[in-house]
Each structure stands twice: as structure tokens, then as C-alpha cells.
Amino acid sequence: MTTLRSLLLASGLVALSACTLFAEPKPTEHTAVVKDGPWGNKVYRGGYVEVASVSGVQPDWRLHSAVSIPAGDRSAWLYVYLCNENPKHCISIAQAQVAFDAQAGHTYRPRAQEQVNGSNRFWVWMEDEATGQTVSEKVLGAPRS
């Protein structure tokens, strides 16, 4: 009976730690979080902006693209993806490096907008998720090959 209890307890702890491991990071009093963000719309075309890294820190898992970072001046590498009809079939078409001041307790999302529809040239910037306020300069993304 104790072997069965030990086995159940061990499997419960593994399941609990897996949930913690795969949980999306949350901002704290010392950290901020940067998450993927959408661009465009479903009528014409659109996609998402992926967080490749923030000041050298990469998201731990690609199950979600969010990264917890210390507050302060940060620089994020962002990739712009174009998704044609199916969100599982996306291609990376641009990249940009965006500088911003990360405030503890805040969550940020990168945004992008095409200069001209169909041009594959993008303005990329960072927004505070709660307020929608732009917290960086709009940077012209470079084509990604």
C-alpha cells in the first residue's frame, strides 16, 4: 500500500511541476513580461509578432512565446510572421530590434503595421498591454530571409 501511495504522490508532484513549468510567466514587483502580439486583421491579411529575445533572454518554451525579464531599459528582437488563412501556416517576413523601458508589474506586447498593404515592410513597436500605450519608438523592420 505504501508503494502505491508513494507512486501516486510522485506522479502528482511531477504533474504539478509540469503545470508550473508550462505556465505562462506573470509580472511581479521586480519583473515585467513580454508576450507575442498580433498584427493586421482577418479581412485582408495578418499574423503575429514573435518575441525572439529580450536583452538576450529567450522564452523558455515555444508552447507560448512569453518571457519574464527584470525591470529597466531593455532591447527586444522581434520577428513578424505573415499567416495566410491558417494560423499554423505562417512565414517569418521581417525582424526588428526595439528598445523600451520595462516597468515592474507590467506586461508588454509587440505590435506591427505594414507601411503599405502588401509591401512586407513593417513598422514595429512595443505597447503596454494594460493601457495600450506605446512604450518604444516605431522601428522599421528589416526583411527576414
Assigned domain for 139 exists: yes
Average of per-residue pLDDT across 114-136: 92
Whether 65 is covered by a domain: the verdict is yes
**DSSP string covering 45-76:** -EEEEEEEEETTBPPS-TTS-EEEEESEEEEE
Q: Which domain holds residue 127?
A: 26-143
Q: What is the count of structural domains for the chain?
A: 1
As a whole number, mean pLDDT of residues 109-133 equals 92
- Is residue 102 assigned to a domain? yes
The DSSP bridge partners found for residue 111 are: 125
Q: Evaluate whether residue 90 is within a structural domain.
A: yes
In a domain, 6, yes or no: no
Residue 120 pLDDT = 84
Helix, strand, coil percentages for the chain (3-state, nearest 5):
15, 50, 35
Provide the pLDDT for residue 129. Answer: 96
Any domain includes 5: no
With a cut of 70, say whether residue 117 has pLDDT above it.
Answer: yes
CA distance linking residue 101 with residue 137, whole number of Å: 11
Q: Is the pLDDT of residue 22 over 90?
A: no
Q: What is the pLDDT, as a whole number, of residue 97? A: 96
- Give pLDDT, residue 71: 96
Q: Which residues pair with 100 in a beta bridge?
A: 74, 136
109 falls within a domain: yes
80 in a domain, yes or no?
yes
Gap between the Cα atoms of 52 and 67, Å rounded: 9
